[in-house]
């Protein structure tokens, strides 16, 4: 992301100076580690590079020396959506993206460890990464798991993921997010998500009742509020600046 500029001084001598190449930083996949994929992951790919998923380049100077430092200093979160495979079918253009079966979830744990003063919001595209994501969320207070993204936005998968999150995280996650590229997508996403959530919570409350616990309307409203935004708001409101 650096570019070298040649300048001529008043005495006629030329000097080389280095500056940030802003245009390069704006390009698609600018912060992907291309050495891991073996090729460009753009839409025009031929599939040969699909052996490895596209992940954040953890060795990027921009990541460690610019982005994370700014986020830590200004108390800003970093949102990550992990696991898309670009250009699975190039002929479909923007509709031709697929999913990485097993994305590198350990990368998220390394980021949380390396940058404890930065808050991370994360969601995974593959069903296979959901359990590890929950485990990571129990280990790092600077990590918040959210949503059932894209190919996970099917009622059967939403139910499976939400059950697991409730069992492992209680209400310390965000059950769903809009993630709508067009408004029409929200017309079906929220009704079926609410229906699935009601089913999952109902089963959990039934277990509590059988154990002798008496539920109140206030407790139910509290839980629903938390997994539909309250937990996220609590996560965003806490500062990590004093973390070592």
User: Which pLDDT score, from 0 to 100, does residue 47 have?
Assistant: 41
User: Which pLDDT score, from 0 to 100, does residue 183 have?
Assistant: 78
The 10s digit of each residue's pLDDT in 180-212 is: 777 777 788 888 899 999 999 999 999 999 999
3-state secondary structure the chain: CEEEEEEECCCCCEEEEEEECHHHHCCCCCCECHHHHCCCCCCCCCCCCCCCCCCECCCCHHHHHHHHHHHHHHCCCEEEEECEECCCCHHHHHHCCEECCCCCCHHHHHHHHHCCCCCEEEEECCHHHHHHHHHHHHHCCCEEEECCCHHHCCHHHHHHHHHHHHHHHCCCCECCCCCCCCCHHHHHHHHHHHHHHHHHHHHHHHHHHHCCCCCCHHHHHHHHHHHHHHHHHHHHHCCCCCCC
User: Which pLDDT score, from 0 to 100, does residue 108 have?
Assistant: 95
Positions in the chain short of pLDDT 70: 1-55, 242-244
Whether the predicted model's global pTM rises above the 0.95 cut: no
The 10s digit of each residue's pLDDT in 164-184 is: 999 999 999 999 988 777 777
């Amino acid at each position: 992301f650096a570019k070298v500029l040649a300048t001529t001084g008043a005495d006629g001598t030329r000097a080389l100076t280095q500056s940030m190449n802003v245009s390069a930083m704006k390009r698609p996949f600018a912060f992907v580690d291309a050495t891991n994929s073996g090729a460009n992951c753009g839409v025009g790919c031929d599939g040969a590079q699909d052996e490895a998923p596209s992940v954040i380049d953890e060795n990027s100077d921009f990541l460690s020396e610019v982005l994370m430092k700014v986020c830590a200093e200004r108390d800003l979160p970093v949102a990550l959506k992990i696991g898309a495979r670009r250009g699975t079918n190039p002929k479909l253009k923007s509709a031709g993206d697929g999913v990485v079966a097993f994305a590198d979830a350990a990368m998220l744990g390394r980021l949380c460890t390396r940058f404890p003063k930065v808050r991370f919001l994360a969601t995974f595209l593959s069903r296979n990464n959901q359990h590890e994501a929950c485990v990571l969320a129990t280990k790092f207070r600077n990590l918040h798991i959210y949503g059932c993204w894209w190919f996970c936005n099917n009622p059967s998968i939403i139910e499976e993921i939400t059950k697991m999150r409730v069992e492992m995280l209680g209400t310390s996650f965000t059950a769903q997010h809009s993630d709508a590229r067009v408004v029409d997508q929200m017309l079906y996403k929220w009704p079926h998500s609410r229906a699935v959530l009601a089913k999952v919570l109902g089963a959990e409350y039934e277990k509590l009742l059988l154990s002798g616990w008496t539920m109140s309307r206030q407790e139910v409203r509290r839980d629903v509020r938390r997994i539909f935004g309250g937990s996220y708001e609590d996560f965003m409101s806490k500062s990590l600046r004093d973390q070592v």
